[in-house]
Amino acid sequence: MGAAKRKPGWFEDDRFWTDLYPSFFPPARWEAAEAEVESLLELVRPTGTRVLDLACGPGRCSMALARRGYQVTGVDRSPFLLARARELSKGLRPKPEWVLKDMRDFERPTTFDLVINLFTSFGYFENPDDDLKVLRRMRNSIKPGGTMVLDMGGKEGIAEIFQPLSVEDLPDGGLLVQRRKILPDWCRIRNHWQIIRAGHVQDYHFEHTLYSGRELHDLLLQAGFAAVQLCGDLSGKPYGVGCRRLVAVAKVPEAIGDPS
């Protein structure tokens, strides 16, 4: 289906990212980016410097990579978040490239040594074929022998700690009420957030597909990746009981030898 015919998803409403920026990207999350990128580089040891940060948001990890000399292309669908990335990366060298695009439409054949998709930026689409399409595009954008790292909340980890309701105080004095619902067959999680400030309530709805380790592993193989390894965090600990993250590391096979 072409981009023009798609039913708009919740993630295409920029008010969501603008309003919830302080909740998704507080200072602690920015600070964590340095350690996340250090772990990731240790885990992957990329063979070159070209990195695609797919769904880069405001560029937390793109910028941490650029500071280490990597040539980063950050792709994101949110004009607001990409404007933040542009603003925050002024003067940074090597200069990251920022691309406003839906991940379903981005592909640069055989260009990158490493493609990353971090902090649960995968599985937003209602149509599961779109997830496969994105993985295929990622795979095609990676050079032979290159690597892909995908980090999300795994189905098993979410099942271990699932709570349908939680309430927290926000630093600005507001209250955040989170309601969560597992959709039939444990295929997706639907979230309803309410932010209450001075008696005024703002509602936000979002949902995404839940992948078990096995489901993600098989989808990556289907997309043409090889040597899929599942980890419980970016340091590479094995994916198992008690893991709050599901991190998949997968390779694009080396080119078969020159036929001549």
Measured from the CB of residue 257, what is the shortest distance to ligand SAM in angstroms? 36
Q: Which H or E run includes 229?
A: strand 226-231
Q: Which of 70, 112, 124, 239 binds ligand SAM (CB under 6 A)?
A: 124
Q: Count the site residues for ligand SAM by CB under 6 A.
A: 19
Nearer to ligand SAM by Cβ, of 102 and 207: the residue is: 102
Q: Does 57 bind ligand SAM (CB under 6 A)?
A: yes
Nearer to ligand SAM by Cβ, of 4 and 241: the residue is: 4
DSSP 8-state secondary structure symbol assigned to residue 48: S
Q: Which H or E run includes 251?
A: strand 246-251
- Cβ neighbors of 125 (< 8 A, separation 6 or more) are 9, 104, 131, 134, 209
Residue 66 buriedness (CB in 10 A; 0-12 / 13-18 / 19+): buried
Q: Which H or E run includes 53?
A: strand 50-54
Q: Does 120 bind ligand SAM (CB under 6 A)?
A: yes
Q: Does 103 bind ligand SAM (CB under 6 A)?
A: yes
Selected range binding ligand SAM among 75-83, 189-197, 203-211, 239-247, rule: CB under 6 A: 75-83
In sequence order, what DSSP letters do the residues of 79-112 get, joined into one string? Answer: HHHHHHHHHHTTT-SSPPEEEE--GGG---TT-E
Q: Does 121 bind ligand SAM (CB under 6 A)?
A: yes
What token pair was written down for 149? Answer: 């790292």
Measured from the CB of residue 40, what is the shortest distance to ligand SAM in angstroms? 11
What token pair was written down for 33? Answer: 């980016």
Measured from the CB of residue 152, what is the shortest distance to ligand SAM in angstroms? 10
Shortest-Cβ-distance residue relative to ligand SAM = 57
Measured from the CB of residue 128, what is the shortest distance to ligand SAM in angstroms? 14
Q: Does 186 bind ligand SAM (CB under 6 A)?
A: no
Q: Does 55 bind ligand SAM (CB under 6 A)?
A: yes
Q: Does 60 bind ligand SAM (CB under 6 A)?
A: yes
Q: Does 11 bind ligand SAM (CB under 6 A)?
A: yes
Q: Which H or E run includes 217?
A: helix 213-222
